[in-house]
Protein backbone atom coordinates (compact mmCIF):
# COMPACT_ATOMS: atom_id res chain seq x y z
CA UNK A 1 0.00 0.00 0.00
CA UNK A 2 1.60 3.24 -1.14
CA UNK A 3 1.77 5.98 1.45
CA UNK A 4 -0.30 9.10 0.88
CA UNK A 5 1.51 11.82 -1.06
CA UNK A 6 1.74 15.38 0.27
CA UNK A 7 0.58 17.90 -2.34
CA UNK A 8 0.58 21.68 -2.43
CA UNK A 9 -2.06 23.39 -4.56
CA UNK A 10 -1.66 26.86 -6.12
CA UNK A 11 -4.74 28.96 -6.92
CA UNK A 12 -5.48 32.61 -7.64
CA UNK A 13 -7.81 34.92 -5.74
CA UNK A 14 -10.83 33.84 -7.77
CA UNK A 15 -10.47 30.07 -7.40
CA UNK A 16 -9.61 30.55 -3.73
CA UNK A 17 -12.98 32.18 -3.29
CA UNK A 18 -11.50 35.50 -2.12
CA UNK A 19 -12.91 37.64 -4.92
CA UNK A 20 -12.69 38.63 -8.57
CA UNK A 21 -10.62 41.33 -10.28
CA UNK A 22 -10.98 43.63 -7.25
CA UNK A 23 -8.97 41.12 -5.20
CA UNK A 24 -6.33 40.57 -7.87
CA UNK A 25 -3.75 42.37 -5.74
CA UNK A 26 -3.87 39.77 -2.95
CA UNK A 27 -0.31 39.02 -1.77
CA UNK A 28 0.94 35.44 -1.46
CA UNK A 29 -0.67 33.57 1.41
CA UNK A 30 -0.54 29.97 2.57
CA UNK A 31 -3.43 28.07 4.09
CA UNK A 32 -2.86 24.60 5.52
CA UNK A 33 -5.82 22.94 3.78
CA UNK A 34 -7.52 22.67 0.39
CA UNK A 35 -9.19 25.99 -0.47
CA UNK A 36 -11.98 26.83 -2.90
CA UNK A 37 -11.52 24.81 -6.11
CA UNK A 38 -8.90 22.78 -4.24
CA UNK A 39 -11.63 20.83 -2.48
CA UNK A 40 -12.70 19.28 -5.78
CA UNK A 41 -9.03 18.58 -6.57
CA UNK A 42 -8.66 16.87 -3.18
CA UNK A 43 -11.60 14.63 -4.05
CA UNK A 44 -10.01 13.80 -7.43
CA UNK A 45 -6.74 12.88 -5.69
CA UNK A 46 -8.61 10.49 -3.44
CA UNK A 47 -6.53 8.44 -1.04
CA UNK A 48 -3.40 8.81 -3.18
CA UNK A 49 -2.53 12.34 -2.11
CA UNK A 50 -3.53 14.92 0.44
CA UNK A 51 -3.46 18.66 -0.15
CA UNK A 52 -1.43 19.73 2.86
CA UNK A 53 -1.47 23.40 1.91
CA UNK A 54 -2.80 25.86 -0.64
CA UNK A 55 -0.67 28.75 -1.86
CA UNK A 56 -2.83 31.67 -3.00
CA UNK A 57 -1.86 34.86 -4.83
CA UNK A 58 -3.78 37.53 -6.67
CA UNK A 59 -3.16 37.55 -10.43
CA UNK A 60 -2.06 41.17 -10.46
CA UNK A 61 0.15 40.70 -7.40
CA UNK A 62 1.95 37.80 -9.06
CA UNK A 63 2.41 39.82 -12.24
CA UNK A 64 3.27 43.23 -10.73
CA UNK A 65 5.38 42.18 -7.74
CA UNK A 66 7.25 39.45 -9.59
CA UNK A 67 10.32 39.17 -7.40
CA UNK A 68 8.43 39.28 -4.13
CA UNK A 69 5.78 36.83 -5.31
CA UNK A 70 8.32 34.35 -6.64
CA UNK A 71 10.39 34.55 -3.46
CA UNK A 72 7.31 34.03 -1.29
CA UNK A 73 6.24 30.97 -3.28
CA UNK A 74 9.74 29.55 -3.24
CA UNK A 75 10.04 30.02 0.53
CA UNK A 76 6.63 28.44 1.11
CA UNK A 77 7.53 25.41 -1.01
CA UNK A 78 10.86 25.02 0.78
CA UNK A 79 9.11 25.04 4.13
CA UNK A 80 6.28 22.73 3.08
CA UNK A 81 8.54 20.31 1.12
CA UNK A 82 5.64 18.55 -0.68
CA UNK A 83 5.93 15.49 -2.91
CA UNK A 84 4.19 17.32 -5.75
CA UNK A 85 2.89 20.79 -6.62
CA UNK A 86 -0.36 21.22 -8.56
CA UNK A 87 -1.24 24.64 -10.00
CA UNK A 88 -4.63 25.64 -11.42
CA UNK A 89 -6.40 24.55 -13.65
CA UNK A 90 -6.22 27.98 -15.24
CA UNK A 91 -8.31 27.22 -18.37
CA UNK A 92 -7.76 30.16 -20.75
CA UNK A 93 -6.79 32.77 -18.18
CA UNK A 94 -3.75 34.83 -19.18
CA UNK A 95 -2.19 36.06 -15.92
CA UNK A 96 -3.36 33.07 -13.89
CA UNK A 97 -2.01 30.59 -16.42
CA UNK A 98 1.34 32.34 -16.49
CA UNK A 99 1.42 32.37 -12.67
CA UNK A 100 0.58 28.65 -12.52
CA UNK A 101 3.33 27.80 -14.97
CA UNK A 102 5.77 30.00 -13.08
CA UNK A 103 4.88 28.29 -9.78
CA UNK A 104 5.60 24.93 -11.44
CA UNK A 105 8.92 26.25 -12.67
CA UNK A 106 9.82 27.44 -9.18
CA UNK A 107 8.86 24.02 -7.77
CA UNK A 108 11.01 22.32 -10.38
CA UNK A 109 13.98 24.47 -9.42
CA UNK A 110 13.51 23.23 -5.84
CA UNK A 111 13.51 19.61 -7.06
CA UNK A 112 9.75 19.19 -6.53
CA UNK A 113 7.73 17.64 -9.38
CA UNK A 114 4.93 19.91 -10.52
CA UNK A 115 2.10 20.02 -13.01
CA UNK A 116 -0.50 22.53 -14.12
CA UNK A 117 -3.45 22.55 -16.52
CA UNK A 118 -4.75 25.10 -18.99
CA UNK A 119 -6.19 25.59 -22.46
CA UNK A 120 -3.62 24.97 -25.23
CA UNK A 121 -4.22 28.51 -26.56
CA UNK A 122 -3.51 30.17 -23.20
CA UNK A 123 -0.52 32.53 -22.94
CA UNK A 124 1.06 30.34 -20.23
CA UNK A 125 1.43 27.52 -22.75
CA UNK A 126 3.03 29.86 -25.27
CA UNK A 127 5.64 30.91 -22.73
CA UNK A 128 6.29 27.76 -20.71
CA UNK A 129 5.46 24.77 -22.90
CA UNK A 130 9.01 23.45 -22.96
CA UNK A 131 9.77 23.89 -19.27
CA UNK A 132 6.58 22.90 -17.47
CA UNK A 133 4.19 19.94 -17.64
CA UNK A 134 0.79 21.20 -18.75
CA UNK A 135 -2.39 19.13 -18.99
CA UNK A 136 -4.69 20.49 -21.73
CA UNK A 137 -8.16 21.65 -20.72
CA UNK A 138 -11.05 23.32 -22.48
CA UNK A 139 -11.32 27.11 -22.36
CA UNK A 140 -14.15 27.11 -19.85
CA UNK A 141 -13.95 26.83 -16.06
CA UNK A 142 -17.34 25.12 -16.25
CA UNK A 143 -15.35 22.06 -17.34
CA UNK A 144 -13.51 21.90 -13.99
CA UNK A 145 -14.71 18.33 -13.20
CA UNK A 146 -13.39 17.01 -16.55
CA UNK A 147 -10.08 18.83 -16.10
CA UNK A 148 -9.33 17.55 -12.60
CA UNK A 149 -9.23 13.83 -13.42
CA UNK A 150 -6.23 13.91 -15.80
CA UNK A 151 -4.50 16.56 -13.68
CA UNK A 152 -4.83 14.54 -10.46
CA UNK A 153 -3.72 11.33 -12.14
CA UNK A 154 -0.57 12.91 -13.54
CA UNK A 155 0.14 14.64 -10.23
CA UNK A 156 0.07 11.31 -8.38
CA UNK A 157 2.36 9.73 -10.97
CA UNK A 158 4.82 12.61 -10.63
CA UNK A 159 4.63 12.58 -6.84
CA UNK A 160 5.50 8.88 -6.84
CA UNK A 161 8.47 9.69 -9.11
CA UNK A 162 7.25 7.18 -11.67
CA UNK A 163 8.81 7.48 -15.14
CA UNK A 164 6.82 9.67 -17.49
CA UNK A 165 5.62 8.29 -20.82
CA UNK A 166 5.04 10.23 -24.03
CA UNK A 167 2.63 13.15 -24.09
CA UNK A 168 -0.17 11.45 -25.96
CA UNK A 169 -0.15 8.51 -23.55
CA UNK A 170 0.07 10.44 -20.28
CA UNK A 171 -2.24 13.26 -21.33
CA UNK A 172 -0.01 16.35 -21.19
CA UNK A 173 0.88 18.87 -23.90
CA UNK A 174 3.92 17.83 -25.96
CA UNK A 175 6.92 19.86 -24.85
CA UNK A 176 8.94 19.46 -28.00
CA UNK A 177 11.39 16.88 -26.65
CA UNK A 178 12.20 13.67 -28.43
CA UNK A 179 13.07 10.59 -26.46
CA UNK A 180 14.60 7.49 -27.98
CA UNK A 181 12.61 4.32 -27.46
CA UNK A 182 11.40 1.17 -29.09
CA UNK A 183 8.21 0.91 -31.04
CA UNK A 184 6.29 -2.25 -31.87
CA UNK A 185 7.07 -2.17 -35.60
CA UNK A 186 10.16 -1.07 -37.55
CA UNK A 187 10.18 2.47 -38.98
CA UNK A 188 9.79 1.55 -42.64
CA UNK A 189 6.64 -0.41 -41.88
CA UNK A 190 5.13 2.42 -39.86
CA UNK A 191 5.96 4.91 -42.62
CA UNK A 192 4.31 2.74 -45.27
CA UNK A 193 1.23 2.25 -43.09
CA UNK A 194 1.00 6.01 -42.67
CA UNK A 195 1.39 6.63 -46.39
CA UNK A 196 -1.24 4.05 -47.19
CA UNK A 197 -3.66 5.64 -44.74
CA UNK A 198 -2.94 9.10 -46.15
CA UNK A 199 -3.53 7.98 -49.75
CA UNK A 200 -6.76 6.23 -48.75
CA UNK A 201 -7.94 9.35 -46.96
CA UNK A 202 -7.89 7.62 -43.57
CA UNK A 203 -6.71 9.44 -40.45
CA UNK A 204 -3.12 8.89 -39.39
CA UNK A 205 -0.96 10.30 -36.60
CA UNK A 206 2.36 11.82 -37.56
CA UNK A 207 5.11 10.76 -35.19
CA UNK A 208 6.79 14.11 -35.59
CA UNK A 209 4.07 16.77 -35.60
CA UNK A 210 4.99 19.73 -37.73
CA UNK A 211 4.39 23.04 -35.97
CA UNK A 212 5.38 25.91 -38.19
CA UNK A 213 7.25 28.52 -36.14
CA UNK A 214 5.62 31.92 -36.05
CA UNK A 215 8.30 34.23 -37.30
CA UNK A 216 7.13 37.71 -38.12
CA UNK A 217 9.80 39.67 -39.97
CA UNK A 218 10.27 43.04 -38.32
CA UNK A 219 9.28 46.07 -40.34
CA UNK A 220 12.18 48.35 -41.29
CA UNK A 221 12.49 51.42 -39.05
CA UNK A 222 10.60 54.61 -39.89
CA UNK A 223 13.00 57.02 -41.47
CA UNK A 224 11.31 60.30 -40.79
CA UNK A 225 9.06 60.27 -37.78
CA UNK A 226 8.34 64.00 -38.03
CA UNK A 227 6.82 63.36 -41.43
CA UNK A 228 4.98 60.15 -40.60
CA UNK A 229 1.33 59.40 -39.94
CA UNK A 230 0.95 57.26 -36.82
CA UNK A 231 -2.12 55.18 -35.95
CA UNK A 232 -3.41 53.98 -32.58
CA UNK A 233 -4.86 50.51 -32.00
CA UNK A 234 -5.85 48.86 -28.74
CA UNK A 235 -6.98 45.42 -27.63
CA UNK A 236 -8.24 46.90 -24.37
CA UNK A 237 -11.85 46.94 -25.56
CA UNK A 238 -12.28 50.73 -25.49
CA UNK A 239 -15.66 51.89 -26.79
CA UNK A 240 -17.74 55.06 -26.69
CA UNK A 241 -19.74 55.20 -23.48
CA UNK A 242 -22.80 52.99 -23.75
CA UNK A 243 -21.07 50.66 -26.22
CA UNK A 244 -23.35 51.75 -29.10
CA UNK A 245 -21.95 49.23 -31.57
CA UNK A 246 -22.36 46.27 -29.26
CA UNK A 247 -18.71 45.26 -28.93
CA UNK A 248 -18.47 41.94 -27.09
CA UNK A 249 -16.50 41.80 -23.83
CA UNK A 250 -14.12 39.22 -25.27
CA UNK A 251 -13.61 36.71 -28.10
CA UNK A 252 -13.49 39.41 -30.77
CA UNK A 253 -15.17 38.50 -34.03
CA UNK A 254 -14.66 41.96 -35.47
CA UNK A 255 -12.82 45.16 -34.72
CA UNK A 256 -14.20 48.69 -34.40
CA UNK A 257 -12.88 52.00 -35.59
CA UNK A 258 -13.78 55.43 -34.33
CA UNK A 259 -13.06 58.87 -35.77
CA UNK A 260 -10.65 60.84 -33.57
CA UNK A 261 -9.59 63.70 -35.84
CA UNK A 262 -11.65 66.24 -33.87
CA UNK A 263 -10.53 65.01 -30.46
CA UNK A 264 -7.74 66.52 -28.36
CA UNK A 265 -7.93 63.79 -25.75
CA UNK A 266 -10.22 61.01 -24.58
CA UNK A 267 -12.46 62.24 -21.77
CA UNK A 268 -13.85 60.03 -19.00
CA UNK A 269 -17.59 59.74 -19.27
CA UNK A 270 -17.35 59.67 -23.07
CA UNK A 271 -15.47 56.37 -23.33
CA UNK A 272 -15.39 53.14 -21.39
CA UNK A 273 -13.55 49.84 -21.53
CA UNK A 274 -15.78 46.82 -22.12
CA UNK A 275 -13.41 43.91 -21.58
CA UNK A 276 -13.77 40.93 -19.30
CA UNK A 277 -10.04 40.31 -18.85
CA UNK A 278 -9.03 43.15 -16.56
CA UNK A 279 -10.44 45.53 -13.99
CA UNK A 280 -11.48 48.47 -16.17
CA UNK A 281 -12.14 51.14 -13.54
CA UNK A 282 -8.92 53.08 -14.11
CA UNK A 283 -9.31 53.13 -17.87
CA UNK A 284 -12.89 54.38 -17.45
CA UNK A 285 -11.43 57.26 -15.43
CA UNK A 286 -8.71 57.94 -17.97
CA UNK A 287 -9.28 56.25 -21.35
CA UNK A 288 -5.91 57.57 -22.56
CA UNK A 289 -4.26 54.80 -20.56
CA UNK A 290 -5.18 52.30 -23.30
CA UNK A 291 -5.72 54.61 -26.25
CA UNK A 292 -3.14 57.34 -25.64
CA UNK A 293 -4.80 59.98 -27.81
CA UNK A 294 -4.10 62.89 -25.44
CA UNK A 295 -0.35 62.20 -25.40
CA UNK A 296 -0.18 61.65 -29.16
CA UNK A 297 -1.99 64.93 -29.82
CA UNK A 298 0.64 66.74 -27.72
CA UNK A 299 3.46 65.02 -29.57
CA UNK A 300 1.76 65.86 -32.88
CA UNK A 301 1.57 69.54 -31.90
CA UNK A 302 5.21 69.49 -30.86
CA UNK A 303 6.13 68.21 -34.31
CA UNK A 304 7.47 64.88 -33.06
CA UNK A 305 5.16 63.04 -35.45
CA UNK A 306 3.75 64.29 -38.73
CA UNK A 307 0.13 63.47 -37.96
CA UNK A 308 -2.11 61.23 -35.93
CA UNK A 309 -4.22 58.95 -38.12
CA UNK A 310 -7.88 60.02 -37.94
CA UNK A 311 -9.16 56.54 -37.08
CA UNK A 312 -8.55 54.66 -33.82
CA UNK A 313 -9.02 50.88 -33.90
CA UNK A 314 -10.23 48.89 -30.92
CA UNK A 315 -11.31 45.39 -30.03
CA UNK A 316 -11.47 43.21 -26.89
CA UNK A 317 -8.39 40.97 -27.08
CA UNK A 318 -9.26 38.59 -24.24
CA UNK A 319 -10.32 35.06 -25.22
CA UNK A 320 -9.73 35.80 -28.89
CA UNK A 321 -8.22 32.73 -30.58
CA UNK A 322 -4.88 33.35 -32.30
CA UNK A 323 -6.30 32.51 -35.74
CA UNK A 324 -9.05 35.12 -35.34
CA UNK A 325 -6.60 37.68 -33.98
CA UNK A 326 -4.32 37.12 -36.96
CA UNK A 327 -7.17 37.69 -39.42
CA UNK A 328 -8.38 40.82 -37.62
CA UNK A 329 -4.82 42.13 -37.44
CA UNK A 330 -4.33 41.61 -41.16
CA UNK A 331 -7.56 43.48 -41.90
CA UNK A 332 -6.59 46.42 -39.70
CA UNK A 333 -3.08 46.51 -41.20
CA UNK A 334 -4.55 46.60 -44.72
CA UNK A 335 -6.74 49.58 -43.76
CA UNK A 336 -3.77 51.38 -42.22
CA UNK A 337 -1.70 50.80 -45.38
CA UNK A 338 -4.52 52.20 -47.50
CA UNK A 339 -4.59 55.20 -45.19
CA UNK A 340 -0.87 55.87 -45.79
CA UNK A 341 -0.05 55.13 -42.16
CA UNK A 342 3.70 54.87 -41.56
CA UNK A 343 3.74 53.41 -38.06
CA UNK A 344 1.29 51.98 -35.58
CA UNK A 345 1.18 51.82 -31.79
CA UNK A 346 -0.77 48.88 -30.37
CA UNK A 347 -1.63 49.13 -26.68
CA UNK A 348 -2.36 45.75 -25.15
CA UNK A 349 -3.90 45.05 -21.74
CA UNK B 1 3.25 47.03 -28.98
CA UNK B 2 2.96 48.73 -25.61
CA UNK B 3 2.26 46.15 -22.93
CA UNK B 4 2.70 45.69 -19.19
CA UNK B 5 3.12 41.92 -19.71
CA UNK B 6 6.15 42.42 -21.88
CA UNK B 7 7.52 38.89 -21.35
CA UNK B 8 4.45 37.50 -23.03
CA UNK B 9 4.40 40.20 -25.70
CA UNK B 10 7.94 39.26 -26.77
CA UNK B 11 6.82 35.69 -27.53
CA UNK B 12 3.93 36.70 -29.76
CA UNK B 13 5.93 37.77 -32.81
CA UNK B 14 5.86 41.51 -32.03
CA UNK B 15 9.30 42.88 -32.91
CA UNK B 16 9.10 46.11 -30.98
CA UNK B 17 7.70 45.78 -27.46
CA UNK B 18 7.52 48.79 -25.17
CA UNK B 19 7.13 48.19 -21.46
CA UNK B 20 3.88 49.64 -20.16
CA UNK B 21 3.10 50.31 -16.52
CA UNK B 22 0.28 47.97 -15.47
CA UNK B 23 -2.53 46.13 -17.22
CA UNK B 24 -5.12 48.50 -15.76
CA UNK B 25 -3.17 51.61 -16.77
CA UNK B 26 -0.73 50.76 -19.51
CA UNK B 27 0.29 54.29 -20.53
CA UNK B 28 0.65 55.99 -17.18
CA UNK B 29 0.38 55.61 -13.43
CA UNK B 30 -2.40 57.31 -11.44
CA UNK B 31 -0.47 56.69 -8.19
CA UNK B 32 2.09 59.29 -9.27
CA UNK B 33 -0.35 62.19 -9.17
CA UNK B 34 -1.61 64.02 -12.28
CA UNK B 35 1.61 65.84 -13.22
CA UNK B 36 4.03 62.91 -12.93
CA UNK B 37 1.43 60.55 -14.38
CA UNK B 38 1.27 62.74 -17.46
CA UNK B 39 5.06 62.95 -17.68
CA UNK B 40 5.36 59.18 -17.40
CA UNK B 41 2.73 58.65 -20.11
CA UNK B 42 4.61 60.96 -22.45
CA UNK B 43 7.84 59.09 -21.72
CA UNK B 44 6.20 55.79 -22.64
CA UNK B 45 4.85 57.26 -25.87
CA UNK B 46 8.18 58.84 -26.77
CA UNK B 47 9.89 55.51 -26.17
CA UNK B 48 7.32 53.81 -28.39
CA UNK B 49 7.86 56.29 -31.20
CA UNK B 50 11.62 55.88 -30.77
CA UNK B 51 11.14 52.13 -31.17
CA UNK B 52 9.44 52.73 -34.53
CA UNK B 53 12.57 54.47 -35.78
CA UNK B 54 14.94 51.78 -34.44
CA UNK B 55 16.08 48.85 -36.55
CA UNK B 56 15.52 45.49 -34.81
CA UNK B 57 16.39 41.93 -35.81
CA UNK B 58 13.92 40.12 -33.60
CA UNK B 59 11.63 40.72 -30.62
CA UNK B 60 13.17 43.66 -28.77
CA UNK B 61 12.15 45.26 -25.50
CA UNK B 62 12.19 49.05 -25.14
CA UNK B 63 11.96 50.08 -21.49
CA UNK B 64 10.88 53.70 -20.88
CA UNK B 65 12.65 53.61 -17.52
CA UNK B 66 15.97 52.85 -19.15
CA UNK B 67 15.73 55.23 -22.05
CA UNK B 68 17.49 58.57 -21.93
CA UNK B 69 15.46 61.66 -21.11
CA UNK B 70 14.76 62.72 -24.69
CA UNK B 71 14.45 59.67 -26.91
CA UNK B 72 12.59 61.57 -29.58
CA UNK B 73 12.47 65.29 -30.02
CA UNK B 74 11.32 67.71 -32.64
CA UNK B 75 14.18 69.24 -34.61
State whether A226 and B74 contact (CB < 8 Å).
yes
pLDDT of residue A212: 54
pLDDT of residue A127: 87
Task: Report residue B32's pLDDT band, with 50, 70 and 90 as the boundaries.
Answer: very high
Prediction pTM value: 0.66
The yes-or-no verdict on residue B69 having pLDDT over 80 is no
SS3 A220: coil
Overall size of chain B counted in residues? 75
Residue among A165, A97, A176, A166 nearest A137 (CA): A97
Mean pLDDT confidence for A5-30: 95
Q: How far is B35 from chain A (nearest CA, A)?
A: 13
Compare CB distances from A282 to B9, B24, B58 and report the shortest one's residue: B24
Q: Where are the domains of chain A?
A: 5-170, 225-347
State whether B41 and A292 contact (CB < 8 Å).
yes
Task: Report residue B73's pLDDT band, with 50, 70 and 90 as the boundaries.
Answer: very low
Overall size of chain A counted in residues? 349
The yes-or-no verdict on residue A273 having pLDDT over 70 is yes
pLDDT of residue A235: 95
State whether B41 and A218 contact (CB < 8 Å).
no
> Of the given ranges (A172-186, A257-271, A292-306), which has the lowest mean pLDDT?
A172-186
- Measured between alpha carbons, how far is B35 from B26 in angstroms, rounded to an integer? 17
State whether B54 and A226 contact (CB < 8 Å).
no
Considering chain A, what percentage of its residues have pLDDT values greater than 70? 97
Chain A interface mutation, best of B52, B54, B58, B64, highest count of A Cβ atoms under 10 Å: B52
- Measured between alpha carbons, how far is A282 from A22 in angstroms, rounded to an integer? 12
User: Which positions in chain B touch A281 (Cβ < 8 Å)?
Assistant: 24
User: Residue A226's closest chain B neighbor by CA?
Assistant: B74
What CATH code would you report for A5-170? 3.40.50.2300
Task: Report residue A183's pLDDT band, with 50, 70 and 90 as the boundaries.
Answer: confident
ipTM exceeding 0.95, yes/no: no
Q: How far is A219 from chain B (nearest CA, A)?
A: 8
Angle at CA of residue A272, ends A266 and A274, nearest 5°: 140
Task: Report residue A304's pLDDT band, with 50, 70 and 90 as the boundaries.
Answer: very high
State whether A349 and B23 contact (CB < 8 Å).
yes
The yes-or-no verdict on residue A48 having pLDDT over 60 is yes
Q: How far is B6 from chain A (nearest CA, A)?
A: 10
Mark out chain B residues that contact chain A at CB-CB < 8 A.
1-5, 7-9, 11-16, 20, 22-28, 30, 41-42, 44-46, 48-49, 52-58, 72-75
Considering chain A, what percentage of its residues have pLDDT values greater than 90? 77
The yes-or-no verdict on residue B75 having pLDDT over 60 is no
Mean pLDDT confidence for A339-348: 96
- Measured between alpha carbons, how far is A111 from A120 in angstroms, rounded to an integer? 26
- What are the residues whose beta carbons fall under 8 Å from the beta carbon of B67, sequence distance 6 or more? B43, B46, B47, B50
pLDDT of residue A35: 96
> Of the given ranges (A19-33, A199-213, A326-340, B49-63), which has the lowest mean pLDDT?
A199-213
User: Residue A97's closest chain B neighbor by CA?
Assistant: B8
pLDDT, tens only, A144-173: 999 999 999 999 999 999 999 888 888 899
Element (H, E) at A312: strand A307-314
Compare CB distances from A216 to B3, B13, B23 and report the shortest one's residue: B13
State whether B3 and A214 contact (CB < 8 Å).
no
User: Which positions in chain A touch B71 (Cβ < 8 Å)?
Assistant: none
User: Which positions in chain A touch B75 (Cβ < 8 Å)?
Assistant: 226
User: Which positions in chain B touch A295 (Cβ < 8 Å)?
Assistant: 27, 41-42, 44-45
- What are the residues whose beta carbons fall under 8 Å from the beta carbon of A241, sequence distance 6 or more? A269, A270, A271, A272
State whether B27 and A222 contact (CB < 8 Å).
no
pLDDT of residue B70: 41
Q: How far is B64 from chain A (nearest CA, A)?
A: 15
pLDDT of residue B74: 39
Amino acid sequence: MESELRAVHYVNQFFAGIGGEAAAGTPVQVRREPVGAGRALAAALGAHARIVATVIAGDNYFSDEREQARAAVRDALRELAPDVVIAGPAFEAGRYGIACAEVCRIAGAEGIPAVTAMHPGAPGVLMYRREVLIVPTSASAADMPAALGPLARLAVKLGRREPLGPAEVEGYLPRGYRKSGERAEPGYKRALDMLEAKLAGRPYASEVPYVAPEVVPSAPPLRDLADAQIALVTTGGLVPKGNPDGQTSGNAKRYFRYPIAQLETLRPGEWEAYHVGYFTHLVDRNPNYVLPLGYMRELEKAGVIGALHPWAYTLPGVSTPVAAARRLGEDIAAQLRDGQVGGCLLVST
Amino acid sequence: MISAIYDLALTTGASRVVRGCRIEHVCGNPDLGPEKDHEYGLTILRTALGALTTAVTGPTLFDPMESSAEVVHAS
